[in-house]
C-alpha cells in the first residue's frame, strides 16, 4: 500500500468503475459489479481488496501465489491466475493498471499560490491557478500558462513560454524555450542552454553563437538532470508525447518526432533527426547529422553511426540490424567456447 504520507488514495471504487476506466472485461458474468476495491498493489503485496497486474512472464511465480483480489491479465495467461484472484481480461494489462492507478491516485497540483519567497519579474505573465513554490526565479517577459506548477528553486529564463498544466521540477532550469501544454520537466533538467558549438582552432576554439530555441510540444516528459541544448540556428524540437528519461543528452538542432521513448543516459548528437514512435534504449549514443526513421528500435548501449531506416531494429556498436549483431555475438560465443 502506498505510504499515505506521500500519496493520497482517493477511496474505494466498484468493479464496474474499474472495468469502465480500464476497458478490461470479465471471463463470465458471475462477478458482482458492485464489489469494492480499495487500492492497486503489486502481485506480491496485493490483498483481497487490491487490484494488481501481470505483464511479464518473469513474474509467473508471484502471480501464482498472489493474494490480490483482481488482476489485469491477458486472456493468454488466464490459466495462471490463482482461484482467489478475479482475472480482468485485457490485451494491455499494464495500460489498464496505469489507468486504474491514476483514478486511485490522481495527479494533484497543490492549490494555486505564489510563494512570497519566489522572485518574479514584474513583466512576467503568470496565468490563472498557477502554483509557484519558494525559491523560484522567473525572469522578465516569461509567460506561464494556467494551472502550471513550478517547484522550488527552479529558474525560468527571460521570454520563456510555458503552456498550461505543465510541471517544472525542483532546481530545474529553462531558458530560450517555448513549451506547450501538459509538459512535465523533472528535477534538475537543463533546457535551452547553448549547445556545444565551436570551430576548432589551435589558437583557441571559436564559439559559435547558438541562435535557436528549444521547442517542446504537448504531453512531453523530460527526465531528471537531462540536458537539452537549444538550436544553433534551427531549433531543437521534442515532438508531441515524447518521453525522455533521466540523464539524457540532446544536442543542438536535434529534432525528435511524436511519441518516442528515449531511455536514460542516451546521447543524441547535434542535428540528428528521429521520426515518430521510435524507442532508443538506455546508454545508446547516436552520432550527429543522422536520420533515424519512425518506429525504429535501438537496443541498449548501441552506437549509431549511420542512418537507420523506418521500422528497423538495430543493435551493437557500431549499430547494425539486430539479426546481424546477434549472429556476430553467437559466432564469437561459439569460437571461444570451443
> With CB under 8 A as the contact rule, which of the stretches 12-20, 79-87, 123-131, 296-304 interacts with its own copies?
296-304
Per-residue binding letters, 90-129, with its own copies (x by CB under 8 A): --x-xx-xxx-xx-xx-x-------x-x-x----------
In the window 17-46, what residues touch its own copies (CB under 8 A)? 40-42, 44-45
Residue 145 to residues 107, 139, 148, 273, Cα–Cα distance (Å):
18, 15, 6, 29
Q: Say whether 252 is catalytic.
A: yes
In terms of CB distance, is 29 or 279 closer to its own copies?
279
Closest distance of CB 49 from its own copies, Å: 15
CA distance 220 to 238: 8
Residues making up the chain, counted from first to last = 338
Please write down the HEC assignment for all residues of 217-285. CCCCEECCCCEECCCCCCCEEECCCCEECCCCEECCCCEECCCCEECCCCEECCCCEECCCCEECCCCE
Q: Which helix (H) or strand (E) holds 35?
A: none
In the window 221-260, what residues touch its own copies (CB under 8 A)? 221, 223-225, 227, 229, 233-234, 241, 243, 245-247, 249, 251, 259
> With CB under 8 A as the contact rule, which of the stretches 30-38, 61-69, 76-84, 316-324 interacts with its own copies?
316-324
Q: What are phi and psi of 232, to 5 degrees?
A: -85, -25
Q: Quick check: 277 binds its own copies (CB under 8 A)?
A: yes
Residue appearing with cell numbers 537543463: 190
In terms of CB distance, is 159 or 313 closer to its own copies?
159
In the window 144-203, what residues touch its own copies (CB under 8 A)? 151-153, 155, 157-159, 169-173, 175-176, 186-188, 190, 193-194, 196-202
Closest listed residue to residue 191, CA positions, set 220, 213, 163? 213
Active site residues: 252
Amino acid at each position: 500500500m502506498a505510504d499515505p504520507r506521500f500519496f493520497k488514495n482517493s477511496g474505494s471504487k466498484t468493479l464496474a468503475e474499474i472495468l469502465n476506466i480500464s476497458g478490461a472485461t470479465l471471463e463470465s458474468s458471475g462477478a458482482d459489479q458492485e464489489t469494492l476495491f480499495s487500492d492497486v498493489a503489486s502481485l506480491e503485496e496485493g490483498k483481497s481488496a487490491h487490484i494488481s497486474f501481470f505483464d511479464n512472464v518473469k513474474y509467473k511465480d508471484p502471480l501464482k501465489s498472489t493474494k490480490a483480489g483482481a488482476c489485469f491479465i491477458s486472456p493468454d495467461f488466464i490459466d495462471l491466475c490463482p482461484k482467489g484472484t478475479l482475472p480482468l481480461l485485457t490485451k494491455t494489462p499494464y495500460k489498464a493498471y496505469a489507468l486504474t492507478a491514476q483514478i486511485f491516485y490522481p495527479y494533484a497540483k497543490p492549490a494555486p499560490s505564489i510563494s512570497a519567497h519566489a522572485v518574479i519579474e514584474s513583466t512576467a505573465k503568470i496565468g490563472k491557478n498557477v502554483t509557484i513554490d519558494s525559491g523560484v526565479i522567473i525572469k522578465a517577459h516569461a509567460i506561464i500558462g494556467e494551472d502550471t506548477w513550478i517547484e522550488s528553486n527552479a529558474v525560468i529564463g527571460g521570454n520563456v513560454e510555458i503552456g498550461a498544466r505543465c510541471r517544472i521540477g525542483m532546481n530545474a532550469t529553462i531558458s530560450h524555450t517555448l513549451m506547450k501544454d501538459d509538459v512535465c520537466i523533472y528535477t534538475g533538467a537543463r533546457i535551452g542552454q547553448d549547445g556545444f558549438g565551436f570551430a576548432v582552432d589551435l589558437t583557441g576554439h571559436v564559439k559559435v553563437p547558438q541562435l535557436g530555441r528549444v521547442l517542446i510540444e504537448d504531453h512531453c516528459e523530460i527526465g531528471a538532470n537531462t540536458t537539452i541544448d537549444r538550436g544553433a540556428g534551427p531549433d531543437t524540437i521534442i515532438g508531441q508525447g515524447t518521453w525522455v528519461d533521466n540523464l539524457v543528452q540532446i544536442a543542438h538542432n536535434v529534432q525528435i518526432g511524436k511519441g518516442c521513448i528515449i531511455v536514460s543516459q542516451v546521447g543524441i548528437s547535434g542535428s540528428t533527426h528521429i521520426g515518430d514512435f521510435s524507442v532508443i534504449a538506455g546508454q545508446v549514443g547516436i552520432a550527429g547529422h543522422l536520420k533515424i526513421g519512425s518506429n525504429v528500435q535501438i537496443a541498449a548501449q548501441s552506437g549509431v553511426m549511420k542512418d537507420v531506416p523506418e521500422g528497423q531494429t538495430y543493435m551493437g556498436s557500431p549499430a547494425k540490424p539486430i539479426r546481424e549483431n546477434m549472429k556476430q555475438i553467437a559466432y564469437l560465443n561459439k569460437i571461444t567456447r570451443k
